[in-house]
Amino acid sequence: MKDHHFFTYSMNNQAISEHLKKTFERHFQEGLEQGASLALYHRGENIMSLHAGWRDLKGQEPWTQDTLAPVWSAGKGIASACLLHALQEQHIPIDTRVATLWPEFAQAGKETITIAQLLSHRSGLAALDQKGLALTDHRAVVEALAAHPPNWIYDGSHGYGPRTFGFLIDELLRRLTGREPLSLYWRRVFGIPLGLDLWFGLPQAELARTATLIPPQGTPPPSAFGRAYSDHTSLTRRAFMEPGGGFQMTAMNQPALRQAAIISSGAIATADALARLYSILAMQHNNPFFHATTRQLMETPMTSGQDRVFMEDTVFSAGFMLSGTHGIMGPGARNFGHPGAGGALAFADPEHEWGFAYVPNKMHHGILTSLRTQRLVNALYFGVTT
C-alpha cells in the first residue's frame, strides 16, 4: 500500500486539529479515500488544513494543497452569496417579485413568485420537463424556465432544484448587473480580491491540477429518495434529469465540462477556498462584504419539512441549506452551507465564525451526507470547547 503523505500546517487550535487529523487519516487507512482535502478557517484566517492521497486513479499524482476538485452542489451556496450581494448593493429586498427584474418569468402563473421563494426552493421550479437542452446553453434553459409552469401549486412547501437552481440564480444576477454572468461576478467581487481558488468555468491553465472524479461504487442503500428516483415519472427523477439529460458522473472529468460555467453543479475548488469564503460569510461584525441584514438571510430558515425532491426533511434559508435535524453541518441551528454529491461539504458556523470545507475525489453514495463527511463534522465539534 502506498504512503499517503499526510500534511498539516497552521495548527492554531491543537484540540480541534488533532480530532480532525485522526478522523481524516482514518478514512485513508480504511480505504474510503483516494485523495481529499479539508480546511477550517476563522474570520478569513487559517486554523488548519489537511490534504492527502492522490488526485489521479493510478496513485501517481499526489494531492497537494492547491489541488482542485469538482464539488458539485457545494457551489450553490457560493452562487447564492453572489446574488444576495448583488441584491444588497442595489437595495432590492428579497421579497421582490422575480418578474419585476425578469419580466418573462411571469409566464405560466409565476407572476407572484418572489426572490425569497426562488432562493429557498419554494418556487415550484425543481424540474424542467423540456428535454434536449444542454447544461451549457444558458439562454435556451432560462427561456424554457421562464415559460414553464410551476411543478406544484404554491403552498409554501419546497422541492430542491438540483439542476434548475443555478440557471435561475444566474439569470436573476444577469438582470441585476447588465448581463454579467454569475461566473464573472464571482471572480470580480470575491474570487480575485480574496485570491480564492474557486471557479465556475475552470480556465484551461488550471486543468492539470484538478483531481479525477471517481464515481460511487456498488449499490446505494435503500431509501425513499432511491425509490422515487427509480420512478421515471416522479418529480425527483425529473429534477435530476433536466436540463442536460442523464449523464455519468465521470463526465465531469471531461475538460469541456470543467471549463463550462455550470452554476448548479460545476463549481471546482480547493477546500481552502471554500472554507475561507464561508468563514467570511460567518463574520457577524465588520463583515467586509455583507450587511447584517443580508447575513441574517443566510442563516434564517425560510422553509423546512419534507422536501418534495429529496423525500426527506430539509431546511433552507436564502439559497443555503441549514444543518437541520440531520446535523450535517454540526449542532449549530444557524450553521449554513451546502453539501455536494459524493460527500463534499462546505459551511459557515456563525457562532464560532468558522468556515469548514471537505473536498474528496472518491465519491460515496448519499444525497445529503456520507459516512466520511459526518465523521469529520462530528470530529470538529467533539473538539470544541464553549
What pLDDT digit, counting tens, does each position of 292-313 carry?
A: 999 999 999 999 999 999 999 9
Site of grid cell 453539501: 339
What pLDDT digit, counting tens, does each position of 178-228 carry?
A: 999 999 999 999 999 999 999 999 999 999 999 999 999 989 999 999 999
Domain layout of the chain by residue ranges: 7-79+184-382
d(C-alpha 191, C-alpha 183), whole Å:
10
- pLDDT over threshold 60, residue 2: no
Counting Cα atoms < 13 Å in the Cβ hemisphere of 77 gives 31
pLDDT of residue 324: 83
pLDDT of residue 248: 87
Site of grid cell 499526489: 62
d(C-alpha 243, C-alpha 132), whole Å:
7
- Model confidence at 383, pLDDT cuts 50, 70, 90, reads low
Closest CA to 317 of 338, 332, 331: 338
Contacts of 278 (CB under 8 A, 6+ apart): 41, 77, 337, 346, 347, 348, 354, 355, 356, 357
d(C-alpha 207, C-alpha 68), whole Å:
9
Average pLDDT on 122-130 reads 97
Residue 242 is inside which H or E element, if any?
A: none
310, 314, 319, 322 alpha-carbon torsion, rounded to 10°: -140
d(C-alpha 79, C-alpha 44), whole Å:
19
**Order of strands across the sheet with 198-200?**
69-72, 267-269, 198-200
Phi then psi for 112, rounded to 5 degrees?
-100, 0
- pLDDT over threshold 80, residue 6: no
Report yes or no on whether pTM surpasses 0.85.
yes
What type of residue sits at position 282? A
CA angle 179, 185, 189 (to 5 degrees): 140
> Are 220 and 226 within 8 A, CB to CB?
yes
d(C-alpha 281, C-alpha 290), whole Å:
8
CATH number for the domain whose boundaries are 7-79+184-382: 3.40.710.10
- Model confidence at 40, pLDDT cuts 50, 70, 90, reads very high
Q: Is 240 helix (H, G, I), strand (E, B) or coil?
A: coil
What pLDDT digit, counting tens, does each position of 359-382 carry?
A: 999 999 988 888 999 999 999 998
pLDDT of residue 247: 82
- pLDDT over threshold 90, residue 11: no
Share of the chain above pLDDT 90, in %: 90
Residue 301 is inside which H or E element, if any?
A: none
- Residue 254 neighbours by CB distance under 10 Å: 11
- Model confidence at 13, pLDDT cuts 50, 70, 90, reads confident
Share of the chain above pLDDT 70, in %: 96
- Residue 257 neighbours by CB distance under 10 Å: 18
- pLDDT over threshold 90, residue 330: yes
Whole-number average pLDDT of the chain: 94
- pLDDT over threshold 60, residue 61: yes
- pLDDT over threshold 60, residue 145: yes
- pLDDT over threshold 70, residue 8: no
Task: Please tell me whether the peptide bond between 70 and the residue prior to it is cis, using omega within 30 degrees of 0.
Answer: no
**Order of strands across the sheet with 7-9?**
7-9, 45-53, 35-42, 354-360, 345-349, 336-339, 321-322, 313-316, 303-306
pLDDT of residue 301: 98
- pLDDT over threshold 60, residue 386: no
Beta strands 69-72 and 198-200: pairing type? unpaired
